[in-house]
Chains A and B, each alone.
Chain A
């Protein structure tokens, strides 16, 4: 068992290493002649106007909130699915009830009009 996690741990070292090496290679191969105009921020060919940190739509935030509820609750379903054989009938219907409550929550949000992109 610990051997499994050793492999995963080593993978966490190797996986960033390969793209990092690929990114470091051009430091020796590519020219480097920075100047002021080259490092300007791109914006349709004109000079940047105003702040980058613009206000954003509140809908992005609302969708992130809805997601949070759903994602946390679906994670609870994984152990339920793995132990499905050893579950008593009662637990199965508890699980189904849980999903139905999730669905009801979705319907509520839908009826409230929070799923509309206005």
Chain B
């Protein structure tokens, strides 16, 4: 009774075996059902997320948000879905039709694929891949590819500019992301997400708060949300890479973005916030599922909060922030973590000493970084021009005399 999900799975397995199917085929069917269920839950979560994000946006920006369709505007996303389903597709002249149509599918698929390896509870795991972290990075790269495909195949200059910007941004921020993901791997001595969750005693955000911070910032850039939404900047290049998409094809890019933010929340929860860990989560796996979702929404809320608070940055600021700040910082953090880890293991320190030293080292790095930034922050390179009067007063010699 404590584990309804596995109960259903076992019941289904018994049913299929009872029908006289072979063990191998049963395994395939069960995996298929599991994949469909996980992917469908992901897609359905998005419908709720769109309502939630609009409501949060409303609150943060001091307005109401959707409140007409249904109680608290809860039916708003369904109205949107119906509207978008009955909207006509337009294909631009000269578009590369095959690539143009595959791009939105890939945008969603790339995010859904990450859900295959995330452990939802102690007994509810898609699959415990032993290269989980590497798999996440590899699959995440499909998202970049979908943006590139959309931008290049639309035969539109704005879309092309959006694709160029996405190359500059997404590939840049992948480096601090990859390096910050090394920290949980070092702590857990494994790339499997199940092993990483099981090793979190205490949570890795305590062992390495800086890595978590770098990961969240880099992820925000990866999902191209404000302040990093340069590739779809409305005021500069109208809509960027998805400018020529209409109806459900645009909807898929939209869904992909929301799902990606939620996935980032799930990854933060899994890698840094202890996944399904919590009181009594091991006896009652369903509790672990609830903990996992709560932690995921914490990560989601942080990303949404930053998006609604910070304005968009310029492209040179975006690149500077990555290459001159995040990348060196993450590499330095990696060196210090690796050396400290080896030293602490050599002297056979207790778990709490290990945690304390790691935490203090992170705090020290943050403090040093802030001090260095204070010293070296250059003033904005802007030329000062002398003030020019807007309207010249008439010459005094002529104007002072009163006219007869």
**What residues of chain A have their CB less than 8 Å away from a CB belonging to chain B?**
3-4, 6-8, 10-16, 18-20, 22-23, 25-27, 29-34, 38-43, 48, 52-54, 56-57, 59-60, 63-64, 66-67, 70-71, 74-75, 77-78, 81-82, 84-85, 89, 92, 95-96, 99-100, 102-103, 106, 110, 115-117
Contact = CB atoms under 8 A, between A and B. Distances in A.
The secondary-structure label for the interface of chain B is helix
Contacts of B105: 16, 19-20, 23
Contacts of A39: 90-93
A6 B87 contact: no
A82 B39 contact: no
B252 A23 contact: yes
Contact of A23 (B185, B249, B331, B342): B249
Given A74-B178, A99-B338, A106-B331, 9 more contacts: A6-B28, A22-B255, A34-B91, A40-B93, A48-B157, A57-B164, A63-B168, A74-B182, A106-B323
**Residue among B168, B172, B189, B327 having the largest count of chain A Cβ atoms under 10 Å:** B168
Given A11-B113, A25-B85, A84-B189, A18 B108 contact: yes
Contact of B167 (A11, A60, A96, A100): A60
B112 A18 contact: yes
Given A7-B31, A52-B157, A117-B319, A22 B251 contact: yes
B323 to A, nearest CB: 5
Contact of B40 (A7, A18, A33, A117): A18
Contacts of B304: none
Interface in B122-137: 126-130, 133-135
Given A19-B252, A60-B164, A70 B93 contact: no
Give me the 10 closest cross-chain CB pairs, A-B, nearest first. Answer: A117-B316, A19-B108, A15-B112, A15-B109, A11-B116, A16-B109, A67-B171, A14-B35, A7-B127, A81-B185
B396 interface: no
The secondary-structure label for the interface of chain A is helix
Contacts of A15: 35, 39, 108-109, 112-113
Interface string B159-182: 010001001100110110011001
B331 A84 contact: no
Contact of A52 (B112, B128, B155): B155
A18 to B, nearest CB: 5
B334 interface: yes
Contact of B324 (A19, A52, A57, A115): A115
Nearest to B141: A71
A16 B101 CA distance: 12
A106 B105 CA distance: 36
A18 B36 CA distance: 9
Contacts of A92: 338-339, 342
A53 B159 CA distance: 11
Nearest to B249: A23
22 contacts: A4-B128, A4-B129, A6-B28, A7-B34, A8-B129, A8-B135, A11-B113, A11-B126, A26-B86, A32-B89, A41-B155, A42-B158, A52-B94, A67-B171, A74-B175, A84-B342, A89-B342, A92-B338, A96-B335, A102-B331, A103-B332, A116-B316
B35 A10 contact: yes
A11 B39 contact: yes
Nearest to A9: B31
B324 A110 contact: yes
B45 to A, nearest CB: 13
Contacts of B157: 43, 48, 52, 54
Contacts of B167: 60, 63-64
B371 interface: no
Nearest to A40: B93
Interface stretch (B240-248, B267-275, B372-380): B240-248
